[in-house]
Amino acid sequence: MSQALHRPRIRPGRIVVWTLLMLGGIVMIMPFAYMISTSLKTPEQVYDLRLIPVRPTLKNYAALLADARFLDWFVNSLVTSTLVTVSVLFFDSLVGYTLAKYRFRGRGVVFIAILSTLMIPTEMLVIPWYLMSASLGWLDTYWGIMFPGLITGFGVFMMRQFFMTVPDELIDAARIDGLSEFRIWWEIAMPLVTPALSALAIFTFLGNWTAFLWPLIATSESTLFTVPVGLSSFASENLTRWEMVMTGAAVSTIPTLIVFILFQKYIIRGVVLSGLKG
């Protein structure tokens, strides 16, 4: 931010600009404010659109959590998103490292082939994935929800960029010390790219947590829904009970908001890294 000190500045309007930006920011979070506010209201109060509820109540949350389905959806999302993230971190960095640090015939072809998968929209693949899952019995299983995302072309590309910055001398020195190739990657190279790994981890987790289209297709048993799919079905069956819909929306959004508040710095940096380098 020290750079901003030297920037040309619109001097007369500075306070006006600041105020407008702040107002815009407040408008941006209004949907959350209203979502939380309505989730704290009784059905009669829903028509009272004041932002601060007159007599806030947690009854809706109690009612929602008494509905066992929500817990299922949370567990499903938590397990699948976590496992996919672990797999992505492991495989994407292994492949990225291999493509960055090994010289072998076919390296270019492998790299271009993996990059080319970024051009193929998921929508084109979901139907073959569905047919594959149906014939192999993967529908309505965790594996079925997870398998398409276990390794990603984007992550491979991003990790390759970062492993390129690891000096070859370090790897050669480890070889001379007699470390196995696997341990060189895991113990020498991996710790050097932790910023990239944490950005990739957060994005993979959030991306899977909020994913809708594939989990919607891959599951039909409500006990196997992920949070977004569950919320979608819950909301459409409670269309007249907006305070319950808002409570469901709040419960499904709070985890992502917490992740954001905790990791704000990494997330912003991750967007920049993935945006400008990927």
Partner 1 sequence: MRAIDSLTIHQKQALWAWVFLAVPIVFFVVVRFYPTLDSAWISLTNWSLFREPKFIGFANYRKMFADPVFWKVFANTFKYLALGLPISLLISFTVAYFLDRVRVMHGLIRGLYFVPYLTTAVAMAWVWRWFYEPVPIGLFNDVLSSLGLPQQPFLRSVDQALPSVLAPAIWAGLGFQVIIFLAGLRAIPETYYEAARIDGVGSWTILREITLPLLRPTLLFLIVISSIGFLRIFDQVYNMTVDGQGGPLNATRPLVLNIYNSAFVDYDMGYATAQTMVLFLVLLVITVVQLRLLRSS
Least separation in angstroms between CB 101 and partner 1:
9
First to last CA, the chain: 24
- Enumerate long-range contacts of 212-215, CB under 8 Å, 24 or more apart: 213/122, 213/123, 213/126, 214/122, 214/126, 214/129, 214/145, 214/148, 215/145
CB of 222 to partner 1, least distance (A): 15
Choices 63-71, 137-145, 148-156, 162-170 (CB under 8 A): range interacting with partner 1: 148-156
7 touching partner 1, by CB under 8 A:
yes
Q: Minimum Å distance from CB 62 to partner 1?
A: 19
Q: Which is nearer to partner 1, 47 or 191 (CB)?
A: 47
Cα separation, 60 vs 47, in Å, equals 16
Cβ nearer to partner 1, comparing 79 with 125: 125
Segment interacting with partner 1 (CB under 8 A) among 63-71, 162-170, 190-198, 222-230: 222-230
Question: What type of residue is 144?
Answer: G
200 touching partner 1, by CB under 8 A: no
C-alpha torsion angle, residues 121, 202, 158, 195 (rounded to 10):
170
> For partner 1, how many residues bind (rule: CB under 8 A)?
97
Other CB atoms within a 10 A radius of the CB of residue 160 amount to 21
| Window 99 to 128, contacts with partner 1 (CB under 8 A) | 102-105, 107, 110, 113-114, 117, 119-121, 123-128
Is residue 142 a contact point for partner 1 (CB under 8 A)?
no
Query: Taking CB under 8 A as the criterion, which residues in 51-90 touch partner 1?
Result: none
CB of 83 to partner 1, least distance (A): 15
Interface map 9-48 toward partner 1 (x if CB under 8 A): xx---x--xx-xxx-xxx-xx-xx-xx--x-------xx-
Residue 159 and residue 97 in contact, taking contact as beta carbons nearer than 8 Å: yes
Residue 275 binding partner 1, by CB under 8 A: yes
**How many angstroms separate the CA atoms of 184 and 124, rounded?**
38
Separation CA 196–CA 10 (nearest Å): 36
Check residue 212 for interaction with partner 1 (CB under 8 A): yes
Nearest distance from residue 85's CB to partner 1, in Å?
A: 15
**Alpha carbon separation from 51 to 24, 40, 41, 42, 160 (Å, rounded):** 17, 10, 10, 14, 48
Contact call for residue 179 and partner 1 (CB under 8 A): no
